[in-house]
Structures are given as structure tokens and as C-alpha cells.
Amino acid sequence: MESLGNVQGAVFCHGKTLYNPYNRDITPDVEIHENVHSLQQKDKPELWWKYYLNSPAFRLDQEIEAYGTQYFFIKQHMHGKLLEWGKEKMAQALSGEKYGNLISFQEAESKIRNFAKNL
């Protein structure tokens, strides 16, 4: 298994259970993001986590769907600079160490935006 980056402060789900070990505030858009992962896991969270942790391509695919859905949600509730800030934060996360530096910031931003556009 490859080493993922710093995940301090992360929330994550296993099946229908949302874990928040750092007791951070869970905003509605983060809840939407984690709900996507819960749906992706269906009734086999152990298998999903095995693929997620061991396959960078699988992890990227799953996160594009989750961030794209999250961005679609915030587009309905935020506007202007706040919306741009949200998209930038998601693209920074997706392109960063947390997920294994899988793609560039520009690619992440484009993939998130395009996924949301198709919802």
C-alpha cells in the first residue's frame, strides 16, 4: 500500500457510518461528499477501502465523483468569490499530498468542474 499524505482533520465513512476523529465541524457540503463515498461503498466497504488505499486510479475516480458532487451542491448555495474559494480548496485537496499527488491543481479543478456540470 502506498503512503497517503497528512490526513489529520479528515472525516471519512465506512459504509453508512461517518467518522470524525478530530471532532471538526461537518458542513453540509462535506456531508454530501462523504455520502457519495457511502453510496460508492454500497454493501462492501471493506472491499472499497482495499481498492481505495491500493489503487491510485480508483481513488482518483472516487474522489472526482465526490468532489464534483460537492461542488455541484455548493454552486447552488454559494456565489462569486466564495464559490471560487470553495472550488479552489477542493482542487487543492484533490491535487495534493492527502490523496497522493495524483494530478495537478489545474487538472483537479477541471475534473471537479466538469463532473458537476454533468449532474
List the domain boundaries for the chain: 12-117
What is the structure's pLDDT at 34? 98
The predicted structure's pLDDT at residue 1: 47
Residues with Cβ within 8 Å of 54's Cβ and at least 6 positions away in sequence, in order, are: 1, 2
Determine the distance from the C-alpha atom of residue 33 to the mean position of all C-alpha atoms in its chain, rounded to a whole number: 6
pLDDT score for 9:
77
pTM for this predicted structure: 0.92
What average pLDDT values come out for the chain (119 residues) when binned by 10 residues?
61 96 94 98 97 97 98 95 95 94 97 97
Judge whether 97 and 54 are in contact, CB under 8 Å: no
Grid coordinates given for 9? 482533520
What is the signed CA dihedral for 3, 108, 26, 28, rounded to 10 degrees? -150
Predicted pLDDT at 47: 98
Query: Coil, helix or strand for 8?
Result: coil
Q: Which residue has the cell 482542487?
A: 91
Chain-centre distance for alpha carbon 103:
14
Distance of alpha carbon 49 from alpha carbon 27, whole angstroms: 23
Task: Give the residue carrying C-alpha cell 471493506.
Answer: 46
What's the rounded Cα separation, in Å, for the pair 103 and 71? Answer: 18
pLDDT score, position 7: 66
User: Cell 483537479 identifies what position?
Assistant: 108
